[in-house]
């Protein structure tokens, strides 16, 4: 792979138990050197995180302190997302669900 190439990640879940699975959290870590392509996730209803701990609905926002010392809230670029997460309220026995997201190979400094 080379910078600029696009890779699609696919997560597949199947409930092989006899009971309903509830509140399934499907997490996709974004590998080092890859950048999430905004809007490429299917289903589109997802959460994202920059640290793997705190997830929010995109676009993510963060507080930054400017040169004047004042705090401002800015949008976090999707290229800074390190995790994506989907939630499935219920997955019936024998049921399955698939999630996909595209990433671009980023320029990696050594």
How does pLDDT run across 65-92, given as a tens digit for each residue? Answer: 989 999 999 999 999 999 999 999 999 9
Element (H, E) at 40: none
Tokens matching residue 27: 């997490």
Q: Where are the domains of the chain?
A: 6-105
* Topology of the domain covering 6-105: Immunoglobulin-like (2.60.40)
Which pLDDT belongs to residue 24?
94
pLDDT band at 103 (very low <50, low <70, confident <90, very high): very high
- The per-residue pLDDT for 97 is 97
User: Which is nearest to 102 in space by CA: 21, 34, 36?
Assistant: 36
Q: What is the pLDDT of residues 18-32, one digit of tens each?
A: 999 999 999 999 999
**34: its two tokens:** 């890859």
The model's confidence at residue 1, banded by pLDDT at 50, 70 and 90, is confident
* Number of neighbours of residue 15 by Cβ within 10 angstroms: 18
Give percent of the chain with pLDDT exceeding 70: 97
Task: Copy the structure tokens of residue 4.
Answer: 């600029």
Does residue 108 carry a pLDDT above 90? no
Distance CA 49, CA 61 (A): 10
């Amino acid at each position: 792979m080379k910078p600029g190439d696009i890779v699609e990640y696919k997560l597949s879940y199947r409930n092989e138990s006899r009971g309903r699975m509830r509140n399934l959290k499907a997490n996709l870590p974004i590998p080092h050197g890859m950048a999430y392509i905004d809007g490429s996730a299917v289903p589109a209803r997802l959460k994202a995180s920059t640290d793997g701990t705190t997830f929010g609905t995109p676009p993510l926002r963060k507080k930054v302190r400017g040169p004047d010392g004042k705090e401002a809230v800015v949008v976090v670029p999707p290229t800074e997302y390190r995790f994506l997460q989907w939630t499935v309220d219920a997955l019936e026995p024998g049921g399955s669900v698939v999630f996909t997201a595209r990433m671009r190979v980023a320029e990696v400094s050594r």
